[in-house]
Every structure is written in C-alpha cells, then in structure tokens.
Amino acid sequence: MNKPMAYSGETQTKPVGPQEFVLRLLNTLGPDEAKQFCRENHWLGILNKIS
C-alpha cells in the first residue's frame, strides 16, 4: 500500500548534495525565512552556507 502524499504536488526525488539543498531551501523559503528555519532547527552548517 502506498503512503499518502503530504500535498498534491509532492514528488519523490533522489538525495541531493548540500549545495543543491541550500539552493532549494532558499528558492522555497527565501533568504530570511531560510535563515530562521535553520536557526530553529539548529542547522548551523546550512545557516553558514546561506549567510
């Protein structure tokens, strides 16, 4: 049985490298929200790449 998708536009993707992940995060949230998201989740390595 397939698990339900979180939202209708969700697609399965292959794992990405850190640089591509940072770009996706920035494109999705924008720089200010991406930085805040990283702070809240203690993703300091990703936060440093954004800053």
Q: Does residue 25 lie in a domain region?
A: yes
Q: Does residue 31 lie in a domain region?
A: yes
**Looking at residue 19, what is its pLDDT?**
87
Q: Does residue 22 lie in a domain region?
A: yes
What's the domain range around 28? 18-50
**Number of domains within the chain:** 1
pTM greater than 0.85 (yes/no): no
Q: Does residue 29 lie in a domain region?
A: yes
**Looking at residue 21, what is its pLDDT?**
87
Residues of the chain short of pLDDT 50, as ranges, are 1, 5
Give whole-number Cα distances, 36 to 21, 30, 42, in Å. 16, 10, 10
**Looking at residue 6, what is its pLDDT?**
53
Rounded CA separation 48/11 (Å): 28
